[in-house]
Structure 1
Amino acid sequence: MLLVFKNSKSIGLTIIFFLLSLFTLFGQSKNISITGKVLESSTNQPVAFATVILVEHETKNNLTGTTTQDDGTFKLETEASNFYIEVSFIGFKTKSIKDFKIAKGKIQLGNITIEEDLEQLNEVVVEAEISKTEFKLDKRIFNIGKDLSSTGASALEVLNNVPSVNVNIEGAISLRGSQGVQILINGKPSIIASDSGNTLGTITADMMERVEVITNPSAKYDAEGTSGIINIILKKEERKGLNGSASVNIGDPSNYSFGMSLNRRTEKFNLFSQIGIGYQELPNHRKSINRDLIENTTLKSNGTEYRNETYYNIILGTDYHINENNILTLSGSFAYEIEEQPSSFDFDLFDGTERSIWKRTEETEATNPRYQYELQYKKDFDDHEDHMLLFSALGRFFGKDQSSDFNDVTLAGPDRDADQKTRTDYKNANYTFKLDYTKPYNEKFTIETGGQYVLDNTTNDYEVQDLVGNVYETDPNQTNIFEFDQNVLGVYGTAAYEGEKWGIKLGLRIENTDIETLLADTNENNDQNYLNLFPSFHSSYKLSDSYSLQIGYSRRISRPNWRDLNPFFNIRNNFNIRTGNPDLQPEFTDSYELTNIYNLGKASLNFGVYYRYTTDAIERRISTFEDNVNTYKPYNIGTNDALGIEVNGKYPVAKWLVFNGDFNYNYFKRKGEFEGTSIDFNADQWSGKLTSKIGFPGDIDFEITGNYRSGTKTVQGKTAEILFADLGLRKKVLKDKGTISISVRDVFASRIEEFETIQDDFYLFNQNQRGRFIIFGFSYGFGKGEAMEYGGKQSGGGRRR
Structure 2
Amino acid sequence: MTSSLALSYSALCLALFTCSSFVMADTTNTASMPVQTLETLTFGAQAEVKADPDISAVAKTIISREEMLQYGDQSVNDALRRAAGFQMPTPGQGPRGAGGAGGMRFRGGGAPVFLINGEPVQGGPRGGMSIVDTLTPDMIERIEIVKQPSVAQASVASSAVINIILKQPLDTARINGSVRLGYGFAESDSREEERKSLSVQADGRSNQWIYSLSANQSIDETQTTSNTQNAGESIVQQKRVNERKSFMLTPRAEYEIDDQQKVVAEIFYREHQNDGYNGRTLQSDDNESIRLNTRYERKDGGNSDKVRLSIEQQDETEVTRSSRGTENIQEQVNEYGIAYDGVRKFNPTQQVKFGFDVKSNELESNQNQTLDEQRYAAYLEGSWRFTDRQTITLGARQEWLERSGLVDYSDSHLSPVLAHRFDFNNQWSLQTNLSQAFRSPNSNSLLPTVSYSTDADAGSLNNPDRGGNPFLKPEQINAFESTLGFNTAAGGINLTGYYREVDDYIERVVNLEDGRYVQRPTNQNSATTYGMELSGRYALKQTEAGHSFMLNGQVSTVRAKIDLDNGGERLASGVAPYSASAGVSYNYQPWQLATSMNVNYTPAFTRPVDNQPYVQNTNERVNVDISATKRFQDGWATTLSARNILSTDYKTRLYKDNGEFYQARTNEAIPSVLLSVEKKF
1:639 aligns with 2:526: yes
What is the identity, as a one-letter code, of the residue corresponding to 1:747?
Answer: I
Q: 1:765 to 1:515 in 2, by over 3 A?
A: farther
Distance 1:305 1:152 in 2: 28
Residues 173 and 604 of structure 1, relative CA distance in 2, 3 Å threshold? same
| Correspondence for 1:99 | none
* Structure 1 position 670 matched with structure 2 position 562: yes
Matching of residue 714 in structure 1 with residue 649 in structure 2? no
Aligned residue type for 1:599: N
Give, as a single letter, the amino acid of the residue that structure 2 aligns with 1:744.
A
Which residue pairs with 2:169 in the alignment?
237
- Residues 306/230 of structure 1: CA separation in 2 closer, same or farther (3 Å cut): farther
State the Cα deviation string for residues 101-151 of structure 1 (Å, max 9, x = none): xxxxxxxxxxxxxxxxxxxxxxxxxxxxxxxxxx97332223343446863
Indicate the SS of the match to 2:243. strand
Alpha-carbon separation, structure 1, partners of 2:498 and 2:176: 44
Once the two structures are superposed, what CA deviation does each residue of 1:724-748 show, in whole Å capped at 9, x if it has no partner?
Answer: 111111211125x221111111113
Could you tell me which residue of structure 1 aligns to residue 27 of structure 2?
31
Asked if 1:391 corresponds to 2:307, the answer is yes
How far residue 753 of structure 1 moved from its aligned partner, in angstroms, is 5.0
Q: Which deviations, in whole Å up to 9, do the C-alpha atoms of 1:181-212 show, x marking residues without a partner?
A: 22222222124598741133211122223222
Q: Name the structure 2 match of 1:364.
A: 283
2:325 matches 1:420: yes
Partner of 1:141: 62
**SS in structure 1 of the partner of residue 341 of structure 2:** strand
Quote the Cα distance in structure 1 between the aligned partners of 2:225 and 2:139. 30
CA RMSD of aligned residues (A): 3.3
Deviation digits for residues 238-277 of structure 1 (CA, Å, limit 9, x no counterpart) = 5211211111111112111211111121231111111222
Q: How many residues align?
A: 629
The amino acid that maps onto 1:446 is Q
- Counterpart-to-counterpart distance in 2, 1:20 and 1:327: 46
1:180-195 alignment runs, 5 A limit: 180-191=111-122
Cα distance change of structure 1 residues 686 and 601 upon mapping to structure 2, 3 Å threshold: same
Per-residue deviation, 1:370: 1.2
* Among candidates 737, 741, 745, match of residue 643 of structure 2: 745
CA distance in 1, matches of 2:77, 2:510: 28
Distance 1:613 1:769, change over 3 A: farther
Q: Which has the larger radius of gyration?
A: 1
1:401 aligns with 2:317: yes
For residues 593 and 231 of structure 1, the distance between their equivalents in structure 2, rounded to whole angstroms, comes to 21
State which of 203, 211, 215 in structure 1 corresponds to 2:135. 203
- Separation (CA, whole Å) in 1 of partners of 2:354 and 2:53: 24
1:631 maps to amino acid: V
- Listed as ranges, the matches of 1:421-570 within 5 Å are 421-461=326-366, 480-498=367-385, 499-518=387-406, 526-570=407-451
Q: How far has the Cα of 1:450 moved from its partner?
A: 0.8
Match of 1:154 among 75, 79, 85: 75
* CA spacing shift, 1:481–1:495, aligned 2, 3 Å: same
How far residue 487 of structure 1 moved from its aligned partner, in angstroms, is 1.7
Deviation at 1:684, TM superposition (A): 7.6
Paired position in structure 2 for 1:294: none
Residues 274, 753 of structure 1: CA spacing in aligned structure 2 closer, same or farther, 3 A cutoff? farther
Kindly tell me: are residues 652 and 440 of structure 1, through their superposed partners in 2, closer, same or farther at Cα, counting changes over 3 Å?
closer
Superposition pairs for residues 772-787 of structure 1, below 5 Å?
772-782=671-681
Identify the range of structure 1 (365-374 vs 249-258) with the bigger mean alpha-carbon deviation.
365-374
Q: 1:274 to 1:445 in 2, by over 3 A?
A: same
| Larger relative contact order (Cα-Cα within 8 Å, sequence gap ≥ 6) | 1
Counterpart-to-counterpart distance in 1, 2:599 and 2:116: 28
Structure 2 CA distance for partners of 1:544 and 1:755, relative to 1, 3 Å: farther
The CA deviation string for residues 668-702 of structure 1, in whole angstroms up to 9 with x for no partner, is: 433123xx695445998111101121335743322
What residue is the counterpart of 2:188 in the other structure?
Answer: none
Whether contact under 8 Å (2:361, 2:373) holds in the other structure is yes
Q: How far, CA to CA, are the matches of 1:158 and 1:194 in structure 2?
A: 26
Q: Does the aligned pair in 2 maintain the 1:429–1:458 contact within 8 Å?
A: yes
Q: Write the distance in 2 (CA, Å) between the matches of 1:322 and 1:9.
A: 52
**1:529 deviation in Å?**
1.3
Structure 2, unaligned runs of 5 or more = 41-45, 91-98, 186-192, 542-546, 610-614
Matched-pair contact (CA < 8 Å) for 1:155–1:205: yes
Aligned partners of 1:284 and 1:424: how far apart in 2? 26
Partner amino acid for 2:254? D
Q: Secondary structure at the match of 2:293?
A: strand
- Partner of residue 43, structure 2: none
State how far apart, in whole Å, the 1-side matches of 2:64 and 2:653 are: 34
1:319, distance to aligned residue in structure 2 (A): 1.1
Distance (Å, rounded) in 2 between the aligned partners of 1:283 and 1:666: 35
SS in 2 for 1:11: helix
Task: Name the aligned partner's letter for residue 277 of structure 2.
Answer: P
Call closer, same or farther: CA 1:73–1:507 in 2, change over 3 Å. closer
CA contact (8 A) 2:124 2:314 kept: no
| Maintained 8 Å contact 1:506/1:536 | yes
Letter in 2 for 1:328: V
Q: Tell me what 1:685 maps to.
A: 577
- The one-letter amino acid paired with 1:699 is Q
Q: Please give the residue correspondences for 1:649-664 in structure 2 after superposition, counting only pairs within 5 Å.
A: 649-652=536-539, 655-664=547-556
User: Partner of 2:598 in structure 1?
Assistant: 705
1:734 aligns with 2:633: yes
Other structure's SS at 1:156 match: helix
**CA–CA distance in structure 1, aligned partners of residues 404 and 265 of structure 2:** 32
- 1:330–1:625 Cα change, 3 Å: closer
User: 1:319 aligned to 254, 262, 267, which one?
Assistant: 254
Change (3 A) 1:633 1:174: same
- Separation in 2 of the partners of 1:751 and 1:557? 38
Alignment-derived partner of residue 131 in structure 1: none
The superposition leaves residues 138-173 of structure 1 with CA deviations (integer Å, 9 ceiling, x where unpaired) of: 322233434468636222233223332221123311
Residue identity matched to 1:261: Q
One of 202, 218, 221 as aligned partner of 1:262 = 202
Deviations 1:522-555 (A, max 9, x none): xxxx322111110111111211122112111223
Retained in 2: the 8 A contact 1:337–1:369? yes
User: Matched residue of 1:236: which SS?
Assistant: coil
Candidates 218, 228, 231, aligned match of 2:160? 228
Q: Select the residue among 207, 212, 227 that pairs with 2:144.
A: 212
Matches within 5 A, 1:370-389: 370-381=289-300, 385-389=301-305
CA distance in 2 between partners of 1:770 and 1:616 (Å): 36
Distance 1:681 1:261, change over 3 A: closer
Could you tell me how far apart the structure 1 residues matched to 2:440 and 2:319 are?
30
Structure 2: distance between partners of 1:221 and 1:546 = 27
Greater shift in the superposed pair: 501-510 or 604-613:
604-613
The alpha carbon displacement at 1:642 in A equals 2.4
| CA apart distance, 1:71 | 4.7
What TM-score comes out, normalization by structure 2 length?
A: 0.84
What is the SS of the residue equivalent to 1:223? Answer: coil
Supply the distance in 1 between the matched residues of 2:83 and 2:405 (Cα, whole angstroms).
37
1:250 to 166, 169, 183: 183
Tell me which of 448, 457, 465 is aligned to 1:577.
465
Report deviation, 1:641: 2.0
SS in 2 for 1:544: coil
SS of residue in 2 equivalent to 1:313: strand
Q: Are the equivalent residues in 2 in contact too, given 1:578–1:632 (CA < 8 A)?
A: yes
Change beyond 3 A, Cα 1:497–1:568: same
Q: Which residue of 2 aligns with 1:164?
A: 85
CA distance in 1, matches of 2:199, 2:3: 55
AA partner of residue 288 (structure 2): P
Deviation at 1:378, TM superposition (A): 1.0
